[in-house]
Structure 1
């Protein structure tokens, strides 16, 4: 588990509530500190146990490239409420939310879309469904199908219990010990605990099932005309780096391996990650204009 690098919001970043036809979403919005947002905006979607704060270390840098950049909590995550209806948390349902958010942020124009980990599977739904035109698409630390390895085992263990009990066990046996062993400061551990238990238990359970059962949709994604980037840390412990590299080849996508990073490049190597995104977004916009 990685730790968001924050104490206070940096200049140009503010908390917002975004009202859409699909519901209200908690967000962090970054705008250029100087100049105007003259380039296409970006929408950033976090992973299963994460939140908008996982992008906090890159928001200001991304915005300074001349963009509005918005990171959100998905339905049922942290500060975005969600119902007890399991059908609200499938990848398809959450993908509908991404469509609504992208259309709001873009005001009818294309936006750059980034999905981290499980967020990559969710955003993939929005790209494939074709209801929204995206300026580009980035799969960050996301594989072509169900997650494997240690994170798969943690998810399956959580599902052997009732949702609330499963959350308690995941925190007590995995997330908190990982944070403490990494030397995470007490105030950040407290935030991580608050964030984790603010999640909808039903939502967490369904989303965990989704990430464990996701099917390969690369062939469908290949049918969509959108510039695509696959970006991951060289030490990713979610989907194996080789699997993500092979996925990039199948998608004819750009591929960036972030040195020294694991499963959360935006946290572990923010400057390298932000620079890669800005280069990719700028090139994608140039191609759209040509």
Structure 2
């Protein structure tokens, strides 16, 4: 859902495949750049996004002492997945993938962060099994389905994918975009001109986009279930968001008893809009948590 400034890993960030008991997943990994490693984090991107959405944040987290692994989920960008079968993209299946990713990382429980759709998947993973996680940060992801305007955009995209090729849908999106960049709150904001962005779009499984798009529009409110888990929680967003109104995120944080961070001058993707402030807030939340036993 965001526009990463580059798809080329910067120094200290390496691309590889994480082998799990549910298959391999393309990841970007950044080791902690400090003598003492404070912890490890798994970072989940949003709808139409990819691991590269965290490419600027990861070196900043490394400088703060945290190892991070940003993941392309099943059927996202460079992680393979069926292109014509929606069943593997049911939310519970994607949540089990996250649990497998956490299990595959040495060193014990990890911090989990999910952006937008990734926040919904992260929540589902925690509700299945919270034991692999030290904390959950929900970034720009609300208590239930996306706002009405975004539901209409997702429906339009899903309808297009049902009758058009991925390349045809890309061209249609480009034709509909205004000359300036799309608003940063748009659910399809990652879809803009550029060879890397087009390649990412074409790599995505259409079945994955159709299935997860439906999830965005039908997600129930599971805030009470999550609050009952007792895991340390953090709700982070920009000060403007068209996918879930900021006021709704404020209320969700209260209901969860979660820490709340609003990043100034950021829209739906604070990780790319204001990466330094976003990384500081994420690391500060982790720093305040008790050291794992």
The answer to whether structure 1 residue 30 and structure 2 residue 35 are counterparts is: no
Deviation string for 1:19-56 (max 9, x for gaps)?
A: 101110000000134x4452110000000110000000
In 2, Cα distance between equivalents of 1:93 and 1:252: 28
Deviating beyond 3 angstroms after TM superposition, the runs of 4 or more aligned structure 1 residues are: 161-164, 166-180
**Local SS of the residue matching 2:56:** helix
Q: TM-score, normalised by structure 2?
A: 0.90
Confirm whether residue 274 of structure 1 aligns to residue 282 of structure 2: no
Can you give the 5+ residue segments of structure 2 that lack an aligned partner in the other structure? 183-188
- Which of 208, 211, 216 is 2:216 aligned to? 211
User: Which consecutive unaligned segments of at least 5 residues does structure 1 have?
Assistant: none
Aligned length: 284
Which stretch shows the higher mean deviation, 131-140 or 239-248? 131-140
- Please say if residues 160 and 169 of structure 2, whose CA atoms lie closer than 8 Å, have aligned partners that are also in contact: no
RMSD of Structure 2 on Structure 1 (CA): 2.3
Report how far residue 279 of structure 1 moved. Answer: 0.2
- 1:131 deviates by 5.4
Superposed, 1:47-58 pairs within 5 Å as 47-58=46-57
**Aligned match of 2:186:** none
Q: Is the 8 A contact 1:233 1:257 kept in 2?
A: yes
**1:77/1:245 CA distance change after superposition, 3 Å:** same
Judge conservation of contact 2:95–2:124 (CA < 8 Å) in 1: yes
Q: Which of these residues, 244, 250, 260, is aligned with residue 249 of structure 2?
A: 244
Is 146-155 or 268-277 further displaced after alignment? 146-155
Q: Distance in 1 between matches of 2:60 and 2:268?
A: 20
Matching residue of 2:15: 15
Q: TM-score by structure 1 length? A: 0.91
